Structure 1
Amino acid sequence: MRGFVRLLFGRRARLRWVHLVLGGALATPYVLVGEVVIGPVTGSTNVFGSFPLQLASFAVGLPLAALTSLFPLTRPLEAAAVRWLCGVAEERLAFGPARTRAARARTAAWFTLHLGFGGIVAGMTLAVPPFAVVLIALPLVAALRDSRLGLPDVLDHTWALALAPVVGVLSLLALAGCAAGAGALLARWAPALLGPAPEDRLAAAEARAADLAVRNRLARELHDSVGHALSAVTLQASAARRVLDSDPDFVRAALAAIEDTTRRTVGELDAVLGVLRDGDAPGTAPAPTLDADLDGLLRHTRAGGLRVTATVAVEPGALPPVLSREAYRIVQEGLSNALKHAGGPDGRGAVTVRIGPADGHLEITVENPVTGAAPARPGGGHGLRGIADRARLLGGTAEAGAETGVWRLCVRLPMSGSPEGS
């Protein structure tokens, strides 16, 4: 019983009833236009006083409503009303203007149904409650029986008078049932008529995929630049602390490298965050490349006490920009791993970096001895996973692992056919 009452008079049913009444209100101007047409056609001077002529005016007005539904704001407004009043999930509705012929046809069908059902339910809402109240009160109020109020003669019988309150209550229940049923039907049809078309869903999916790709790239940039900077600064500060009293020149160089590393990383961080902030222009700091920034990267890494031997057998300035940029990040991440795992007891480990052509590919190799335990995540942490992602996006390969006490990272990137944006 409680479920039945909730179905007819619960919050959702009441909101859908309001939605139908709003549809009836929207239908009123079209009905008035219909009356202007029906009056001269039928020769009637009192269309409002005839129920059949009112229905005819309603029938004439609905096609006019379908035509005006082609207004661009119709679908957004109707979708918003359906979301809040009919309880339809937001992702099942399209809130943009209908742009294709099929979408406009569905919008016109929905608007016609909304106004049609709404006009009927709104009319019943205005007429049925007063009639039901009269029937319920009729046996109790003699003045109502004496005034007649246009009631049928059958109510003169005692049995009919006794049944009048029952009929009145049933009329109210029937009204609530009609409103609940019409509201449920509209809520069920709304996704099909106001929802996104397959091409809209495809466009939305492509937009989400593009957004995720951008965010993943930004996440890689943040991890590589900030992660390397923190590793380098940590090692530089540790090395400077150990030789603070015995080698002041080294301490000065390490502090200068820390200052330069943090300043450069803050610029990169600001550039990346500028892209993430809605409405902000991207940062002005250029993306680092092999040609412009490799020497500085090696210098800052050596300033922390790590012995780095680098062999570059290719002209960095001749590489495509995107290849030079991604190769720089790969070398940077390789050196970050070396900073974590190649430091000996004195903090001054050795790393070998080789960059050169090999069978139409740019081959990047970073090797360092593993003096302590193997990396905690031999399957690859975020950095190695980021390297693999960069290589895959450029059509290359990446391999990393420990062999006989040496950690080796080898990445091969095609030197031709690299995309110009990523």
Structure 2
Amino acid sequence: MREFARFLFGRRARRRWIHLILGGALAMPYVLVGEVIVGPVTDSRYVFNSLPLQLMSFAVGLPLAAITALFPLTRPMSVAGVRALCGVDGDELADGPPRTWAARRRTAGWFTLHLGFGGVISGMSLAVPPFAAVLIVLPVVAGLRDSRLGLPEVLDHTWALALSPVAGVATLIALAACAAASGNLLARWAPALLGPTPEDRLAAAERRAADLAVRNRLARELHDSVGHALSAVTLQASAARRVLDTDPDFVREALAAIEDTTRRTVGELDAVLGVLREGDDRSTAPAPTLAADLDGLLRRTRAGGLRVTATVEVDPADLHPLVSREAYRIVQEGLSNALKHAGARTPVDLRIAGSGNELEITTENPTSATGAPRPGGGHGLRGIADRARLLGGTCEAGPADGVWRLTVRLPVERIEGPS
């Protein structure tokens, strides 16, 4: 009994009833147009006062509603109403205007059903409660029996008069049952008529893939720039602390490198976060490239105590900007890994060379100096591999011949040696 009462008068039933009333309100303009058509056809001047003519006008208006529902904005409006009032899972409904005519036709079918059920339930909601209220109070209000309300003559009998309150309550329950059943039917049909089509699912998958690509790119940028800067600054500060009293020149050099590293990193961080700022028109610092900052990167890394021997056999200015940018990040992460795992004063060999149509980047450091892996580590090498793969290149990393070697090959259109 409690479940039946919840089905008729529960919160969900009441919200669906409101949804039906909104459908009836949307149906009114189409009914008025139907009256304009039905009146001359039936040669009647009083369509509004005739229930059969009103029903005929309603029947004429529904096809007009179906035609107007073919417009693209009908589906977003309908989906918003269903999500808010019908208790349908949002994942079962499509977002945005329909992409195909088949989806538009399904939307038109839904819109017509919504207005059809809504118009009927709205009419019942206007007519039934007053009639039920009269039946309920009829035995105790004698004036109603004597008035000209057009009540059935059977109510003049005593037994019928005694049962009229029961009939009034039953009429209200019947109205609630019709509204609940209609709302339940619309909720069941909504996913089939307003649900995503294969084209919608494909578009959603493409949007998710694009969002994921942006997130991964931002994660790589933050990891490479901020992670490298923190590692370098930590080692620079540690080295400066150890020789604070004995080598003031090195300390000044280390502090200058810390200042330069943090300043550049703040600019890069602002550039990366600028992608996340919607409507931010401020200019952001460009991403660093080999051509713009290879020497600065090496200088800052060496200031932290890492002994880097660099062999550059190509002119970075001849590289495509995209390749130069990704190559810079790969070199930066390779040196950062050496800083993190091998420690300061570790010799690192860096080689940037051109081989045919490939740019080859190699870093090597002794494996004997490599410490234990950090918990949760490995993101740097994964980021390097992702960068290489996105450009159609390859990445190899691991111990070989007593050294830890990282080799990345990136395809390029043309590599020229320094002139």
Same fold at TM > 0.5:
yes
The change in CA–CA distance for 1:45 and 1:305 in structure 2 (over 3 A counts) is closer
Q: Does the CA contact (< 8 Å) of 1:399 and 1:410 recur in 2? A: yes
* Structure 1 position 407 matched with structure 2 position 393: no
Match of 2:354 in 1: 357
Match of 1:376 among 374, 377, 381: 374
Contact 2:72 2:104 survives alignment (8 Å): no
> 1:20 Cα shift?
1.0
8 Å contact kept, 1:374–1:402: no
Preserved contact between residue 270 and residue 283 of structure 1 (Cα < 8 Å): no
2:393 aligns with 396
1:261-280 C-alpha deviation (Å, 9 max, x unpaired): 11111111111111111112
Distance (Å, rounded) in 1 between the aligned partners of 2:332 and 2:234: 15
CA distance in 2, matches of 1:31, 1:342: 81
Superposition map of 1:2-401 within 5 A = 2-98=2-98, 100-147=100-147, 149-281=149-281, 283-343=283-343, 347-358=344-355, 360-369=357-366, 370-371=368-369, 373-376=371-374, 381-401=378-398
The one-letter code of the counterpart of 1:266 is: V
What is the distance in 2 between the residues matched to 1:130 and 1:147? Answer: 15
Q: Which amino acid aligns with 1:234?
A: T
Aligned residues: CA RMSD? 2.4
Secondary structure of the structure 1 residue equivalent to 2:345: coil
Distance 1:93 1:127, change over 3 A: same
Q: Counterpart of 2:360 in 1: which secondary structure?
A: strand
- Residues 357 and 414 in structure 2, CA contact (< 8 A), matched pair in contact too: no
Q: What is the rounded CA distance, in whole Å, between the counterparts of 1:282 and 1:391 in structure 2?
A: 30
> TM (normalized to structure 1)?
0.90
Amino acid at match of 1:337: N
Q: 1:282 to 1:365 in 2, by over 3 A?
A: farther
The offset of 1:7, in angstroms, is 0.8
Residue 149 and residue 210 in structure 1: after superposition, are their counterparts in 2 closer, same or farther (change >3 A)? same
Instruction: Give the drift of 1:358.
Output: 4.4
Structure 1 vs Structure 2: percent identity of aligned residues? 78
**Letter matched to residue 369 of structure 2:** T
Residue 354 of structure 1 and its aligned partner are, at CA, apart by: 1.8
Tell whether the 8 Å contact from 2:99 to 2:200 is kept in structure 1 after alignment: no
Equivalent residues, number = 414
Is the Cα–Cα contact under 8 Å of residues 272 and 283 in structure 1 kept in the other structure?
A: no
Judged with a 3 Å threshold, the aligned counterparts in structure 2 of structure 1 residues 350 and 365 are, in CA distance, closer, same or farther, namely: same
Taking the aligned partners of 1:48 and 1:232, their CA distance within structure 2 comes to: 84
Aligned to 2:382, the other structure's residue is in SS state helix
Supply the distance in 2 between the matched residues of 1:221 and 1:322 (Cα, whole angstroms): 14
Partners of 1:9 and 1:204 lie apart in 2 by: 37
- Which 5+ residue runs of structure 2 have no aligned equivalent? none
Cα drift, residue 95 of structure 1: 4.9
Mark the CA change 1:357 to 1:224 in structure 2 (over 3 Å): closer, same or farther.
same
Equivalent residues of 1:86, 1:183 under 8 A apart: yes
Distance 2:340 2:89 in 1: 49
Is this contact kept in 2: 1:401–1:408, CA < 8 A? yes
Q: Is the 8 A contact 1:275 1:282 kept in 2?
A: no
Using the alignment, how far apart are the partners of 1:134 and 1:307 within structure 2?
Answer: 98
Gaps in structure 1 of 5+ consecutive residues: none
Q: SS state of the match for residue 276, structure 1?
A: coil
For residues 249 and 260 of structure 1, what CA distance do their matches in structure 2 show? 17
Q: Could you give the per-residue CA deviations for residues 349-402 of structure 1, whole angstroms, max 9, x where no partner exists?
A: 21111222346433222111242533235x952111111111221222222234
Instruction: Return the alpha-carbon distance in structure 1 between the equivalents of residues 136 and 126 of structure 2.
Output: 17
Is the Cα contact below 8 Å between 1:275 and 1:281 reproduced in 2? no
- Distance in 1, matches of 2:167 and 2:15, equals 26
- 1:207 positional shift: 1.8
3-state SS of paired residue (2:151)? coil
C-alpha contact 2:319 2:414 (8 A) present in aligned 1 = no
- Structure 1 letter corresponding to 2:389: R
2:386 and 2:403 map into 1 onto residues whose CA distance is 23
> Does the aligned pair in 1 maintain the 2:233–2:258 contact within 8 Å?
yes
